[in-house]
Structure 1
């Protein structure tokens, strides 16, 4: 269906979302940009005859002139999604101020790669599923809703909490930081110290801090504190647990220390946030 939004005519139905199911998934829409979210089970991605390994849990932004295919293990489970985006859709004013569409990502000669921060994956999956659902309906204002969801998808991908790099098989520091962030996600309720995570990664505190600083521009402790604040805020806003229960579940030694930590990092006491 062709539609006119913001004075720009485009065919929203040429936007397509496909799951990565087969042993080989290749470019099926050569006139479109492709955003490939590769999850577990994928072995490699081949781009312009160059094979890249260790590609799981990453998002790749590929322009129409890229010849690509994704190779996966012979399983029937999905190994991710491919979002095909027509050029005319990306020209819509909705996206004009986004960093992601400014030459640097979708128009770059290099191939951008993003490792999503743990926890963001569920949001990205929900956005793609809602977009796909809307594409199959004739609901009123569906075009506006699809553009809004696509905009939200880009905002999440361009978030500072994610790890951005250029695709290579040798980006060891980015890979290390991703492992650190994943370990935080899995162990944050028990361990709040950088020393613990450095030890599990078999590196020194200093080296871990150097890697995080180089890749994300912050120190390692910042990522731990950021995750604690995010979880605390979510529980305070969307659960019926008491402040005391939330503090203990997040690994704080006392309710007072939890309140001190939360106010220090947000400027707001837990009790104030709960009332807002």
Structure 2
């Protein structure tokens, strides 16, 4: 049994960061499968195997060829039950795909939006066609063609449009222990917000409502589940993680206190100072060496 999960780092994450795009082949050698922990990439994958995919508070059992669309917000994992598996995948940032396009964002796309259905079962003809597009991408990826990025965007958009003509899979199942599952997803999504890598982008998710919206559940359901499973309110988990990150940034970076506060979602330095003092009993500057 093989496990693929989107929570580890990969040797060529820097390649994705540099170019905004990566395409690769999947095979039965798990050590060669790239896995990313970045928050800002999308993924399209065609895979032939017997698998169980966990997506948000749902799961799906597959036995054959499927096409999967992953977004940066919803945590998901992929457990391969068969001995072998094969396919292709590409990962990309929204900036890469929408470089010259001011139309709707990917978050609004039927394939990537929160609450959408990101998994399609393919027949032999569909598999052959999608495989051929990935094979062309892999071949072109290694060339020095000056308009290679535009060509890659065209291939990705062709896959997206072909998929929108298909019927999504209807084999999703709800987990028997919904509270445990949604809590696990919340905690994983919380961890995905950290560590803070830049002082120029404020923390995207700050409140239970933010997390509930990202996980496509009602905030009351999220709060009940988290409290039932962990014994602590959702806000307590968020607060503890923000404070721990604030301490790390204060101790291990040369960012100004104002920049640290902004990166953690506080519009004004005074808000950050008051928040930090209320929860720790001391002011942020006391942690500076």
Q: Give the TM bin, normalised by the shorter chain.
A: 0.3 to 0.5
Q: TM-score normalised to the size of structure 1?
A: 0.47
Between 1 and 2, higher relative CO (CA 8 Å, sep ≥ 6) is seen in 2
